[in-house]
Amino acid sequence: MTAKRFLFYFFFLSMQASLIAQEHTTPPKDFTLVAPQFEIRYQQQSGVEVYQPLYEPQVALQPDEYEATGKKSVLLATALSLAIPGSGELYAGSYWTAPLFILAEAAGWYFNIDQNRKGDEKTAAFQVYADTYWDVAKYAQWLNENAKNFEGTEDKNLKIEINPDANLPPWERVDWETMHKVEMAVLVFSHRLPMHGEQQYFELIGKYHQYAYGWKDKTEGDYNVLSPHFIDYSYQRGVANDFYYTASTIVSLLILNHVLSAADAAWAALRFNTQVDLHSQIRIRSLPNGYTDMAPTATFSWRF
């Protein structure tokens, strides 16, 4: 095989691999490439080149073909968009819808991060508010004075030890284990207060009325009557939770964007496959004179 023919077939196979990988530009409506006939091998006899076929002339050679088509893979398009919305559309040639899914994905993550950031800022603010205006030692003192007065209290003699050193943080002044026992002894109470710093600690003190007397502005009256600090704190927590809820909703919409993009990419690949017909082959065949030739062809058709 001469270098010229080798380069021709190398170019043809490279083009065919590129087409199979779907990396194409818009071609003419129809075109065909056919290689010229050539002999498979030769030998030297008395200094003269004598070309011979690979097979004996009397042996019938069955055609052998290699074929490839330029269809888009529906599965690949779907998988790409499931991973990154819009990428499957780009692969399938749907260049109008791809930006919509890409922009929706980018916008979704931007607002999700923004809402989580705002939620974190609000959470930090209401936790500072709680440490300033809610005192677990004050709550424990109220339990010591009033737990025995609740109907059905199982052990009326339980007392929570409170460190008198007011310079310590309130959560370091109380015996938490005993306080939990007192809380459980009062049958109308539904919760035990988690340790300071836990998420549930900050949630319960602004949610359940049994913790009303821990707020510094609550000094008298029924514990079901809430003080302004309790109400203000509950509002702040609600705002933070609203930010987190919005961020969670955006995540659900992002998942929906992946699913819709995957469905659209699959549909785009199917549409592409009905519009495009790419066929290429390499055929080895025997000629009447006993020689053998190889004829590669590639045909690309676009239906409008």
CA–CA separation, 142 and 218 (whole Å): 11
Provide the pLDDT for residue 157: 80
Give me the percent of the chain exceeding a pLDDT of 90: 59
If one compares 300 and 246, the residue with the highest pLDDT of the two is: 246
Would you kindly state where each structural domain of the chain is located, as residue ranges? 106-248
Residue 254's alpha-carbon distances to 91, 112, 169, 224, in angstroms, are 21, 9, 44, 42
Confidence of residue 301 (pLDDT cuts 50, 70, 90): low
pTM above 0.95?
A: no
How crowded is residue 77: how many other Cβ atoms within 10 Å of its Cβ?
Answer: 29
Confidence of residue 286 (pLDDT cuts 50, 70, 90): low
Q: Which residues contact 282 (CB under 8 A, 6 or more apart)?
A: 65, 66, 294, 295, 296
Q: Which residues contact 174 (CB under 8 A, 6 or more apart)?
A: 136, 137, 140, 160, 161, 162, 163
Residue among 118, 116, 97 nearest 108 (CA): 116
Provide the pLDDT for residue 290: 61
CA–CA separation, 43 and 41 (whole Å): 7
CA–CA separation, 175 and 160 (whole Å): 6
Provide the pLDDT for residue 229: 97
CA–CA separation, 150 and 222 (whole Å): 12
Provide the pLDDT for residue 282: 58
Provide the pLDDT for residue 33: 37
- Residue 6: pLDDT above 80? no
How crowded is residue 303: how many other Cβ atoms within 10 Å of its Cβ?
Answer: 8
Provide the pLDDT for residue 179: 95
The mean pLDDT of 286-299, rounded to a whole number, is 62
DSSP 287: -
CA–CA separation, 213 and 233 (whole Å): 14
- Residue 259: pLDDT above 90? yes
- Residue 267: pLDDT above 70? yes
Q: Which of 39-43, 45-49, 82-86, 234-238 has the lowest mean pLDDT?
A: 39-43
Provide the pLDDT for residue 44: 42
CA atoms within 13 A on the CB side of 32: 7
CA–CA separation, 234 and 218 (whole Å): 15
DSSP string, 157-180: T----B---TTS-GGGTB-HHHHH
Q: Which residues contact 108 (CB under 8 A, 6 or more apart)?
A: 250, 253, 254, 257
- Residue 235: pLDDT above 80? yes
For tokens 């199982």, the residue is: 154
CA–CA separation, 143 and 159 (whole Å): 8
